[in-house]
Every structure is written in C-alpha cells, then in structure tokens.
Structure 1
Amino acid sequence: MTEQTVDWETFFRERQRQEKEDKLARFRHLNPYVRKGQVVFAGSSLMEQFPIYEFLLDFQLPYTIYNRGVGGFTTDEFYAALEDCVFALEPAHLFLNIGTNDLNGPEYRLSRLLDNYEKILQAIRGRLPATRLNLMAYYPVNPAVATIPHMQEIFRHRTNARIREASEGVRALAARYGARFLDCNAGLTDADGNLKAEYTIEGMHMYANGYKPVLDALLPVLQEIGAQ
C-alpha cells in the first residue's frame, strides 16, 4: 500500500481561502445589527489584529468602531469583499490599511497595487460619497527577528523601502480623492527604521504594545470625529 503524498502548499492555501470566507460569512451575519454612520476599520491582518475593541474599553474611549479587517487580504480580495467589509455598514468614517500582502512575492508591481487601491477608492466614492476616507501609511517590518523560512522569503520582497514607496503612492491617492493620509509610524520604528523588535510577533504583525502608539496617533483624529 503506497503512502499518499500531501500537497501541503495547496492544503494551507485552501485553508486560508476558507478562513477568509468564514470571516466574511460572520460579517454578513453581524452587519444587520451595526449602527450605521459610525467608524469602520478595514483592510488586511494588520487592521484585523488591531485590538480596538479592548482599547475602547481600556481607555474609556467614547467611540463606536467596527473592525472589518481580514487576514491575508490583497487589494483584489478586498475590492471583491467591499459589500461585507464597507458598504453594508455605511460608515461616516472609514480607516483603510490594505495592500501590504500585495508586496509579498516576486510578482509585485507598485503600479498594480496603486491601480487596485484607486479602484477601491472609486467604488467607495461611487457608493458612499459622504464617507470620510482615512488612508493609513503601511507599518514597517523587522526582518532581523524572522526565524521562520517562509517569513524570510516574504521579507526578500516586503522590504521597508518598498513599504515606504507604496505609502507615498497611497499618500498621492489620498490627495487625489480628498482623503486624509495618516502616517502613524513615528512611535513604531527603531534607530534603523525597522519595526521595534519588542512590538512584533515575527517581524511583521504586532502585539498590543505596538498598536498603542498607533492608537495614540489616531486619537486626535477620533477626537475630531467625536466633536462633529
């Protein structure tokens, strides 16, 4: 009897696809209960893992914020999921952090990332013209703390130089579409411009102590929103 060979790459890719679908299904069941006209955080895992609900409780912040980030999302996937992640909530204010997963492989092209991002903005402007858009700069990474071979391969492509370049492209899109560009990275970097080692899980994603400086940078914007 021969042993069946498992195609682990296909297995994990399918598992990730299913996890994304499951999250969108949960959103579809949650969205009928949201208070429309509030604040929405949306994007990929760096937004999904923002512990905003707990921070609102911890610091008694008087805001209603819904998190519709989905780990692993590219700009293509986010565009396809706009109904569940944005449109159904009809937010008054939308904070976007989407696109870093586009950088992860050798096929990455800045022009494609920005074209996709612009398509997202056009769709939101067309469907929700009154929504205030807040486009976030991409967070830095720290390849020095990566020990997993898979992560080391990603960091060959997802470099801080490319991240800064992509963020500047998003800044230009913000200006073109009347959005606010938010660079919340000042408290995240070490002397070399890398994500501080004490903030990161594996060089890319962050613990709560990494998100706290981001929250601090966002508070003036949230306070402004709350005063409106």
Structure 2
Amino acid sequence: MILSLFQNIILIIFIVVLSITFVLFIFLIIYVLRLIRISTKLKAKQFEKFNGFAMKNQIVFLGDSLTEFYQIEEFFHGYPVYNRGIASDTTDGVLERLDSNVIEIQPKKVFIQIGTNDYRARKNNDYIFKNIKNIVTKLKENLPEVKVYIISLYPVNHKAKIYSRFFTSPRKNQNIIELNQMLKNYCSDNNIPFINVYDELIDKDGNLDKQYTVEGLHISYEGYEVITKILKPYLEE
C-alpha cells in the first residue's frame, strides 16, 4: 500500500512538472513570435529611414529572409540594387509595408520572392496567391512604368539536417509546386516575367539540394550563386 501511494505521488509530481513545462513552452513560443513581429516592424521602419537616402529609378528585391540574407549588393556588384527583404515576413507584411518601403523610392524594377512564411502561418495557396496578385496590382497602380518580376518560391528539404523540420515544417514541396504553377499562369496571362528558380535548386528526389541550403529552408552561398546566374539576365534587360 505504501509503495502504491508512493507511485501515485511520483505520478502526480510527474504530471504537474510536465504540465508546467508545457505551459512554459507555449509562453516561450508566444514570446518568440511576438519578438519576431516586433523585429519585422522595426526593420520596416528602418527601411523607411533608409529611403531618405535612396535614389529613385533603381532595382528592388522584395521578400522575406530568403531575400534579406541574399547579399545582392555583392552578387550583383555594380548594379543599382536595394534589398527590401525582412526575415519572417509574409505576403500580408509585404502588402502592409509596400508603400513606405518600396513605392516611395519609385524603382524601375521590382523582384518579388515571398510566400514561404505564409505556410507557417497556416495560409493556403489561394490566400498566398491572392496576396501576391494584390502586391503586383498595387505596384502597377502606383508605379505605372515599373517592371515587376515574380520569382518562384524555393523548394525545401525536411531531411537536409537532423533538425531541418524545425525550420521547414509545415511547408510541403507539393504545395509550393502548385503555387508556383498558379503564379506562372498568372504571369503568362498578364505579361509579367515569371522566373523559375525552383527547378534549378532541386535534387534527384525533388527536394532542395543539400549543397544549396543551410538547414533545409534557407539558401547557402552555393545556392545563391545558382539563383544569381538565373536572375542576372533580367537585371540587364
């Protein structure tokens, strides 16, 4: 009986500790997400200040971390480029900051690569597609002479590293392929260049090639070399 009582006490303690740990984990996630949102807002405000020194009629790269971490000033040395990528940004975020971060400096070309973080926010392809169309429409309405380019979403690799799923989930390559096809059709119907980078980054199994990624989601130096080779002709036209 004493043994049974002791076992019950141990079980209760275990359940309590587990519950507290779970609650703390949830609070940690909420805190991290809040920090990400704050960081995104601060970065957008920073771009507003940078715009005071920016020249008009230049080239803008617009997107999330896949753009922010793309050292375009180095890869496109000598080209008049501005990086307006913000880590963790979504299509909603881009729409919100489009006026202050991009339209204000009146670029002649805008390269858009956005959408992968929408999957993390549990948005579906229709939602992402609609927002990207709205981004293009808003650019065209405010900058009638601007040339807009849509870059395909990049593939992911859930097995590139042991911890890859922490970064890649819940993204699925099949969903990305379907969205890219939607974007390609839209671009074809509206005379907008669609730049298919996806097919050049995959391995024989259809995943983001390990040599082109840091951890299954973000792009390595070698990956950006491939992307740069594809994009450069569009900067020169």
Q: 1:49 to 1:156 in 2, by over 3 A?
A: closer
CA distance, structure 2, for counterparts of residue 28 and residue 154 of structure 1: 29
- Provide the identity percentage: 29
CA distance, structure 2, for counterparts of residue 180 and residue 100 of structure 1: 20
- Give the 3-state SS of the residue equivalent to 1:134 in structure 2: strand
Relative to structure 2, which stretch is displaced further, 111-120 or 130-139?
111-120
- Give the C-alpha shift of residue 97 in structure 1: 0.3
Partner of 1:202: 215
Partner of 2:93: 77
Instruction: Please provide the CA RMSD for this pair.
Output: 1.9
The letter for the 1-side match of 2:119 is L
Q: Which has the higher contact order (CA 8 A, sep 6+)?
A: 1
- Give the C-alpha shift of residue 197 in structure 1: 0.8
Quick one: which of 181, 195, 200 aligns to 1:168?
181
Partner of 2:68: 48
The letter for the 1-side match of 2:154 is Y
- 1:136 matched to 2:156: no
- Give the 3-state SS of the residue equivalent to 1:178 in structure 2: coil
* Structure 2 segments unaligned to the other structure (5+ residues): 1-19
Quick one: which of 23, 28, 49 aligns to 1:29?
49
- Give the 3-state SS of the residue equivalent to 1:80 in structure 2: helix
CA distance, structure 2, for counterparts of residue 127 and residue 69 of structure 1: 20
Q: In 1, are the aligned partners of 2:167 and 2:216 still within 8 Å (CA)? A: no
CA distance, structure 2, for counterparts of residue 101 and residue 146 of structure 1: 20
Task: Within 5 Å, give how 1:1-228 maps onto structure 2.
Answer: 6=24, 7-57=27-77, 62-104=78-120, 107-148=122-163, 152=165, 155-224=168-237
CA distance, structure 2, for counterparts of residue 15 and residue 146 of structure 1: 26
- Give the C-alpha shift of residue 146 in structure 1: 4.0
CA distance, structure 2, for counterparts of residue 43 and residue 79 of structure 1: 11
Q: 1:55 to 1:156 in 2, by over 3 A?
A: closer
* Structure 1 segments unaligned to the other structure (5+ residues): none
- Give the C-alpha shift of residue 154 in structure 1: 6.1
CA distance, structure 1, for counterparts of residue 97 and residue 184 of structure 2: 23
CA distance, structure 2, for counterparts of residue 162 and residue 153 of structure 1: 18
Count of matched residue positions in the alignment of Structure 1 and Structure 2: 214
Report which of the two structures shows the higher radius of gyration computed on alpha carbons: 2
- Give the 3-state SS of the residue equivalent to 2:47 in structure 1: helix
